Amino acid sequence: MAEKLNLNRVSMPKQEPQVRAHNFNEVAQGYTAEMAKEEASRCIQCKKRNCVTGCPVDVDIPEFIMAIRDGNMAEAVTIMKDKNILPGICGRVCPQESQCEQTCTLAKKAAPIAIGRLERYVADWERLQPAAAKPKPVIPPSTGKKVAVVGSGPTGLTAAADLAKMGHQVTMFEALHVAGGVLMYGIPEFRLPKEIVQAEVEYVQSLGVDLRLNSVIGKIDTVDELLKGGYDAVFLGTGAGLPMFLNCPGENLNGIYSANEFLTRTNLMKAYLFPKYDTPIKKSRRVAVIGGGNVAMDSARCALRLGAKEVYIVYRRSEAELPARREEVENAMEEGIVFKFLTNPKRFLGDDKGWVTKMECNEMELGKPDESGRRRPIVKKGSEFMIDVDTVVVALGTSPNPLVPSTTEGLATTKKGTVVADEKTGKTVKDKVWAGGDVLTGAATVISAMGAGKRAAAAIDAYLRG
Other CB atoms within 10 A of residue 314 CB: 26
Give the interface segment with another protein, choosing from 148-156, 250-258, 307-315, 326-334 (CB under 8 A).
250-258
Residue in 50, 103, 152, 258 binding another protein, rule: CB under 8 A: 258
Q: How far is CA 249 from CA 244, 246, 342, in A?
A: 15, 9, 20
Contact flag: residue 353 with another protein (CB under 8 A): yes
The DSSP element (H or E) to which 124 belongs, if any, is helix 115-127
Cis ω for the linkage preceding 87 (within 30 of 0): no
Contact flag: residue 349 with another protein (CB under 8 A): no
Contact flag: residue 252 with another protein (CB under 8 A): yes
Closest CB to another protein among residues 251, 334: 251
Contact flag: residue 370 with another protein (CB under 8 A): no
Contact flag: residue 409 with another protein (CB under 8 A): no
Closest CB to another protein among residues 118, 394: 394
CA 433 – CA 408 distance, rounded (Å): 10
CA 57 – CA 80 distance, rounded (Å): 10
Contact flag: residue 416 with another protein (CB under 8 A): no
Residue in 46, 213, 386, 429 binding another protein, rule: CB under 8 A: 213
379: Cβ–Cβ under 8 A, 6 or more apart, which residues? 344, 362, 363, 364
Among left, alpha and beta (phi > 0; psi -120 to 50; other), residue 342 is left
Q: Are 385 and 358 in contact (CB under 8 A)?
A: no
Contact flag: residue 408 with another protein (CB under 8 A): no
Contact flag: residue 176 with another protein (CB under 8 A): yes
E strands within 78-203?
A: 146-150, 169-173
266: Cβ–Cβ under 8 A, 6 or more apart, which residues? 188, 272, 281, 302, 306
Give the interface segment with another protein, choosing from 88-96, 208-216, 414-422, 424-432 (CB under 8 A).
208-216
The least distance separating another protein from the CB of residue 299, rounded to whole angstroms, comes to 13
Closest CB to another protein among residues 206, 215: 215
Residue in 130, 141, 230, 275 binding another protein, rule: CB under 8 A: 275
The least distance separating another protein from the CB of residue 398, rounded to whole angstroms, comes to 9
Q: Site for another protein (CB under 8 A): how many residues?
A: 40
The least distance separating another protein from the CB of residue 404, rounded to whole angstroms, comes to 11
Residue in 175, 311, 456, 459 binding another protein, rule: CB under 8 A: 175
294: Cβ–Cβ under 8 A, 6 or more apart, which residues? 323, 324, 325, 328
Contact flag: residue 399 with another protein (CB under 8 A): no
Pick from 145, 143, 142: which is nearest to 234 by CA? 145
The least distance separating another protein from the CB of residue 294, rounded to whole angstroms, comes to 18
Please give the residue ranges that form the binding site for another protein (CB under 8 A): 175-177, 185, 213-216, 219-221, 241-243, 245, 247, 251-252, 254, 257-258, 260-261, 264-265, 269-270, 274-280, 282, 353-354, 401-403
